[in-house]
Structure 1
Amino acid sequence: MKPITPAEECVLILLAAGRSERFGDTDKLQQEYLGQPLAFHVVTALESVPFKARIAVCSGSELDFGSRGYRVIHNDNPGDGMSGSVKLGVAAAREIGCAAVVVALADMPRVTATHIYRLLDATHGPDAVVASSNGVHPTPPAVFGADQFEALLTLEGDEGARAMVRAGRHVIAPESELLDVDRPEDLERLRTLR
């Protein structure tokens, strides 16, 4: 079996450039959840993971990811969909040099460091694609080995890396950890969870 990929050899790419069209006129990432902006929950949860580097791909958000240890890359074309943000993040990670990237979403506030380590433990070699799953559907966060970077750089549209994720290995996590906030009712549901 190929060796497990350590966090120290990975770059975290946090996608925070979505247009939040289903949420309404406000920036969902700035919405208060348990005393801090929604987007900073995943930032806080992953602070202890010793990534080689952290990249936040943003568009119009006023949140200061730089103060939280992220290199901020501005996505001038959020209308290109998730693939545009993934490509910006992967290009920057490739410049840094890394064994893999961990792609996470800023609107998934209940992701845990434990789950990220489980994804990395399932990542064997540079051709790996390992995604999260609730047992039914694969979802971010996901890990992509360095041999997948070229494929990620050719993605188009809002489909992102879904086809790659579907074909990859899946690590199951509780559905409550993989909730993402797309609409105001998602945030309200989140606020009712303990």
Structure 2
Amino acid sequence: MSEAADNEIMLAVLAAGQSRRFGDQDKLTALLHGRMLGLHAADTLTRIAFDRRTIIASDPGHPCAIGWRAMGYDIILNEHAAEGQSASVRCAAQHAMKYGASALYVCLADMPYIVHQHIQKLSRAFDDHDHQKIIASGEGDKAMPPAIFPSSEFGTLQDLQGDHGARKLLQTAYRVAAPDGSLLDIDTPQILATENQKNPRI
């Protein structure tokens, strides 16, 4: 059963990365504890009833697409995925503006250990700041996704360039500390192999 809805907040799970550090394989199709990596975070996020759920992907026929659609996601094609993560953020912001969303929730598809309790804490912080401030996940001195951007930032998000997404913009965000290890992103086959040797965390 879903939690209370985040009214007019559009969720965008970024899944159009080029997986350059992962070799020839699309890392989102790699198995983590017997399930494709690209399905873990998306599944966790179904526990929050966002007004609209989207996956930003480079291929609508991605092997994870059947699973994503079954979870209630719309798949949005990022035709400029080769330009880096900023292209996915731009695409998400464009659709959030088109949809008339009051805010954009950005998560990464390769973060399999995010927990829904942390997502709820981000939403509460967004409420506490009257929906006017960027809210980011904190890990040490880093600000990173999952993050929430108010509609006042959509124009800035659509001007992003390069492979660092909204990293610079997140430095101005209010940070909510995430549980230890929950923001791990699976960037290399070595990290995946190490995680598969452990007991599942989710």
Q: TM-score, normalised by structure 1?
A: 0.92
**Structure 1 ranges of 4+ moved more than 4 A:** none
* 1:55–1:73 CA contact under 8 A, matched in 2: yes
* 1:75–1:88 CA contact under 8 A, matched in 2: yes
The corresponding residue for 2:17 is 18
Q: Give the whole-Å Cα distance in 2 for the aligned partners of 1:8 and 1:192.
A: 39
Structure 2 residue aligned with 1:177, among 174, 178, 182?
A: 182
Shift of 1:153: 0.8
Matched, 1:76 2:98: no
* 2:143–2:173 CA contact under 8 A, matched in 1: no
The corresponding residue for 2:151 is 146
The corresponding residue for 2:8 is 9
User: What is the RMSD of the two structures over their aligned residues, measured on CA atoms?
Assistant: 1.4
> Which amino acid letter does the alignment assign opposite residue 54 of structure 1?
R
Unmatched tracts of structure 2, length 5 or more: none
* 1:118–1:171 CA contact under 8 A, matched in 2: yes
Unmatched tracts of structure 1, length 5 or more: 1-5
Alignment of 1:98-177 (within 5 A): 98-123=101-126, 124-177=129-182
> Which amino acid letter does the alignment assign opposite residue 72 of structure 1?
I
Shift of 1:104: 0.3
Matched, 1:62 2:63: yes
Shift of 1:35: 2.5
Q: Name the SS of the counterpart of 1:155 in structure 2.
A: coil
* 1:128–1:148 CA contact under 8 A, matched in 2: no
How many residues align structurally? 189
Shift of 1:163: 1.1
The corresponding residue for 1:3 is none
Structure 1 residues 104-145: Cα deviation after superposition (integer angstroms, max 9, x where no partner): 000000011111111111112343111111123121111101
Q: Give the whole-Å Cα distance in 1 for the aligned partners of 2:50 and 2:34.
A: 26
Q: Name the SS of the counterpart of 1:45 in structure 2.
A: helix
Shift of 1:193: 4.0
Q: Name the SS of the counterpart of 1:87 in structure 2.
A: helix
> Which amino acid letter does the alignment assign opposite residue 159 of structure 2?
T
Q: Give the whole-Å Cα distance in 2 for the aligned partners of 1:132 and 1:193.
A: 24
Q: Give the whole-Å Cα distance in 2 for the aligned partners of 1:135 and 1:7.
A: 27
* 1:126–1:147 CA contact under 8 A, matched in 2: no
Percent of aligned positions that are identical? 35
